[in-house]
């Protein structure tokens, strides 16, 4: 499926009947977990994670055999305003680095046993500077959403989305400010490590973008197009495809979370298939996860993007499944179970 208009996309988000998760599979997961040789629920979020995987994989015994990491790259016109500590040319150079296996995400994907595919979205064609024009017109936005939507494959046990795009913490901050309000400073962080003067410029840039596109403030998809970018739009499309296909999605940092936030504002249950991998050190990510009602598995002070925080969290999911599949039950081990009260 691809979307030929914003209206068709909006309908797919708000009015199509959404496929549901499997409550019976989840019940079976909890029944097994409660029979294993540990005090009930003592593995905390590990147990919650197995229940989540069971529900969305529709399996009483969930697995992580096939994990796909899709990394989307795009270029941002707003970088001309001096909002990043790095030049825009680094985006293409990092794409080459991903292809040669030299980036953090390559190492983490290999360790996690995940496949990694790189999707470059017109990186030689930066988006418009959102303080002056819409970053993307409707057609450009839909093309990127469709690229993300069609990149998701059915037969995967878990999906991770990553991004590369110098400057993209600025559109992420602008989208959050537009969707959720509050002080622009609270959504705007240092990204790649911009200095104090740069941070002030970045905050002013976000403010100017909000003023320019004030007329779109009540339309989350118009905000995503006017203030976003191609890799963010593709992430929105991929998250929607995962929901339609009941593929569980593990969320990365601030940029990926901001990219899917318009889905939440349009229809909160649409992100029920999403688990937060980590909370990034980027200002605003913790607040954004609260808005999305997600509790992160990890808080490691990471602020890289690329899908790296989520890829690290895969190891936690694998730890959870190792216990779930490998532990003996009280009956098998001949251990006395909890007193009946
Ligand atoms: C070498 C390098 C590798 C990266 N990998 C991810 N990012 C991250 O930093 C960028 C966002 O931060 P800002 O908005 O400050 O530019 C994005 O490309 C993001 O993926 C990187 C940034 C750099 C410099
Ligand atoms: O949390 C993120 O997604 C992030 C933080 C800094 C730079 N790039 C991405």
Residue 54 Cβ < 6 Å to ligand 1: no
Domains and CATH numbers, the chain: 64-316 (3.40.50.10210)
**Residue 306 annotated to the active site:** yes
Helix ranges (DSSP H) in the chain: 6-14, 23-35, 44-57, 89-100, 104-112, 138-151, 169-180, 184-187, 196-212, 220-227, 230-244, 254-266, 285-291, 308-326, 330-333
Q: How far is the CA of 280 from the centre of ligand 2 (A)?
A: 7
3-state helix, strand, coil in the chain (%, to 5): 55, 10, 40
Half-sphere exposure (CA, 13 Å, Cβ side) for 28? 14
Cβ of 95 less than 6 Å from ligand 1:
no
Tens digit of pLDDT at every position of the chain (341 positions): 899 999 999 999 998 889 999 999 999 999 999 999 999 999 999 999 999 999 999 999 999 999 999 999 999 999 999 999 999 999 999 999 999 999 999 999 999 999 999 999 999 999 999 999 999 999 999 999 999 999 999 889 999 999 999 999 999 999 999 999 999 999 999 999 999 999 999 999 999 999 999 999 999 999 999 999 999 999 999 999 999 999 999 999 999 999 999 999 999 999 999 999 999 999 999 999 999 999 999 999 999 999 999 999 999 999 999 999 999 999 999 999 988 76
Q: Is the CB of 309 under 6 A from ligand 1?
A: no
Residue with tokens 């990510």: 285
Torsion of CA 7, 8, 14, 19, to 10 degrees: 180
Which residue in this structure is represented by tokens 């118009």?
Answer: 222
Q: Is 105 near ligand 1, meaning CB less than 6 Å away?
A: no
- Spell out the SS3 assignment of 104-147: HHHHHHHHHCCEEEEEECCCCCCCCCCCCCCCCCHHHHHHHHHH
Q: Using CA atoms, how far apart are residues 270 and 98, in angstroms rounded to an integer?
A: 31
CA of 273 to the centre of ligand 2 (A): 22
CA 193 to ligand 1: nearest atom: 15
Alpha helix stretches (DSSP H) within 213-266: 220-227, 230-244, 254-266
For ligand 2, is residue 280 a contact (CB within 6 Å)?
yes
Gap from CA of 331 to ligand 2 centroid (Å): 47
Ligand 1 contact via 192 beta carbon (within 6 Å) = yes
The alpha carbon of 245 and the centre of ligand 1 are apart by a number of angstroms equal to: 30
Pocket test for ligand 2, best of 86, 188, 254 (most atoms within 8 A of CB): 254
The finding on whether 303 has its CB within 6 A of some atom of ligand 2 is yes
Report pLDDT for 1.
81
**Closest C-alpha residue for ligand 1 atom 23:** 192
pLDDT, position 340: 74
Look at the chain and count its residues. Answer: 341
pLDDT at 65: 98
Complex ipTM = 0.99
Site to substitute for ligand 2 among 90, 229, 305, most atoms within 8 A of C-beta: 305
Cα dihedral 120, 126, 128, 130 in deg (nearest 10): 80
Query: Quick one: pLDDT at residue 16?
Result: 81
Q: What is the pLDDT of residue 341?
A: 65
Mutate to test the pocket of ligand 2, among 303, 306, 308 (most ligand atoms within 8 A of CB): 303
Q: Residue 129: CB within 6 Å of ligand 2?
A: no
Query: Using N-to-C axis directions, what is the helix angle for 254-266 and 169-180, rounded to 10°?
Result: 30
With contact defined as beta carbons under 8 Å apart, do 261 and 227 qualify? no
CB 39 within 8 A of CB 198: no
Q: Of these residues, 26, 47, 231, 306, which one is catalytic? A: 306
Does the CA dihedral 120-124-128-129 come out positive or negative?
A: positive
């Amino acid at each position: 499926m691809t979307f030929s208009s914003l209206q068709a996309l909006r309908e797919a988000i708000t009015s199509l009947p959404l496929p549901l998760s499997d409550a019976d599979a989840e019940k079976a997961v909890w029944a097994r977990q409660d029979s294993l040789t540990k005090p009930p629920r003592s593995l905390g979020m590990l147990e919650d994670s197995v229940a989540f995987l069971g529900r969305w994989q529709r399996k009483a015994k969930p697995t992580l055999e096939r994990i796909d990491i899709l990394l989307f790259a795009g270029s941002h016109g707003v970088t001309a305003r001096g909002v990043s500590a790095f030049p825009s040319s680094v985006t293409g150079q990092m794409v080459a680095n991903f292809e040669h296996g030299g980036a953090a995400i390559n190492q983490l994907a290999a360790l996690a046993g995940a496949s990694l595919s790189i999707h470059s979205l017109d990186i030689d064609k930066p988006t418009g500077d959102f303080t002056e024009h819409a970053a993307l017109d409707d057609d450009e936005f839909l093309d990127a959403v469709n690229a993300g939507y069609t990149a998701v494959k059915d037969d995967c046990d878990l999906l991770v989305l990553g991004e590369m795009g110098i400057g993209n913490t600025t559109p992420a901050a602008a989208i959050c400010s537009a969707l959720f309000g509050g002080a622009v400073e609270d959504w705007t962080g240092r990204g790649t490590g911009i200095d104090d003067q740069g941070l002030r410029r970045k905050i002013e840039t976000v403010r100017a973008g909000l003023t320019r596109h004030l007329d779109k403030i009540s339309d989350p998809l118009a905000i995503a197009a006017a203030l976003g970018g191609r890799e963010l739009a593709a992430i929105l499309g991929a998250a929607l495809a995962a929901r339609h296909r009941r593929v569980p999605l593990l969320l990365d940092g601030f940029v990926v979370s901001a990219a899917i936030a318009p889905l939440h504002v349009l229809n909160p249950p649409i992100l029920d298939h999403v688990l937060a991998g980590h909370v990034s050190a980027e200002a605003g990510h913790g607040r954004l996860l609260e808005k999305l009602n997600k509790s992160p598995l990890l808080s490691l002070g990471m602020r890289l993007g690329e899908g790296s925080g989520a890829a690290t969290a895969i190891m936690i999911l694998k730890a959870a499944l190792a216990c779930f599949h490998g532990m003996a039950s009280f009956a098998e081990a001949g251990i006395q179970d909890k007193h009946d009260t």
